[in-house]
Structure 1
Amino acid sequence: MDIAFANPSETGFDFATDGIDLVVGDGLITMLIHALFRDARAPEDTIETGVDPRGHWASSLSNNAPEGSLLWLMQREKITPNMPYRVTETLEQACQFMIDDTQGDARNVTTVRAIAQKSSHRGRIEAQLNLHLSGTSAPRRFSLIYDTNTGRYKLEEIA
């Protein structure tokens, strides 16, 4: 059982509450939030000397914990025709641990496929993430929107 997360301001996730009580959430969604929105440590060759490589302290607590993603490296970049492909790769890499995990909430994830595209809104990348689970014919689908102009992002499950 996991505590649910909410992102009402679209600038950061926090524990979801219903009045004064914490809300119980979906463990797979919690793992997805950690995988996508936790800053992974940048490889030395991708950042300038003296720039904080970030990374999350909790990543070292478990071998199958999400490392996070490198989406943060793209925050200040201009959206080029190549960026949707890079976002696709980054999303899939961040979720790879779910495929490798054989226990817990990710144990049934068999494949993760992302599709990213430049939005009609200037400065925005939109992506769809499909998590295929063993024993089900339809994947769990998620919409991810990142707006570089405002720094806001949204993750929602598509019904």
Structure 2
Amino acid sequence: MDIAFSNPGKTGFDFATDGSDLIVSDGLVTMFIHALFRDGRAPQDSIPAGTDPRGHWASALSAKAPDGSLLWRLSREKITPDMPHRVRETLEDACAFMIDETEGPAADVIGVEAIARKAEHRGRIEAQLNVYLSRRAIPRRFALVYDTANHRYEFEEIA
């Protein structure tokens, strides 16, 4: 069990509350939020000299900590026909560590598949994550909307 997160303004996640009490979740969603929306450190050879490679301080705390994703790098680019493919790869790369986990919320994860497409709304990429678990016949599905024009994002489980 873990503290749930919410994103009511679509600009950043915070602890979810129900009045004055914290809401508890299964922990898997929290792992996805950290893996996808925390800035991963860009390899030095992939950014111009003198550019901040970003990254998150918590990644240094444990070798098993999720490094975050490089979605932040894609937000600086124009949406081109190949952008959905690159978003898909970025999402899958950010979640790959979960497949090898043997304990905790991701212990049952045996696969993560991302599907991304350019949305009809300008400046938006819509994606779906299918998370395959060893103890479930059907995957858990999550919808992700990344709006680069307005710097807003959504992440929620699809029932």
What range describes the TM-score normalised by the shorter chain of this pair? over 0.9
Superposed, 1:14-53 pairs within 5 Å as: 14-53=14-53
Please, which moves more after superposition, 44-53 or 113-122? 44-53
1:12-36 Cα deviation digits (max 9, x unpaired): 0011111222111220000000000
Distance 1:43 1:72 in 2: 13
- Provide the identity percentage: 69
1:37-87 Cα deviation digits (max 9, x unpaired): 000000012211111111111112122111100000011210001110100
Superposed, 1:94-133 pairs within 5 Å as: 94-133=94-133
Instruction: Report the counterpart of residue 136 of structure 1 in structure 2.
Output: 136
Gaps of 5+ in 1: none
After superposition, the CA RMSD in angstroms is 0.8
Distance 1:61 1:96 in 2: 19
1:96-148 Cα deviation digits (max 9, x unpaired): 11001111110000000001000111110000000000021100000000111
Gaps of 5+ in 2: none
Instruction: Report the counterpart of residue 147 of structure 2 in structure 1.
Output: 147
Instruction: State TM-score, norm by structure 2.
Output: 0.97
Instruction: State TM-score, norm by structure 1.
Output: 0.97
Q: What is the identity, as a one-letter code, of the residue corresponding to 2:105?
A: D
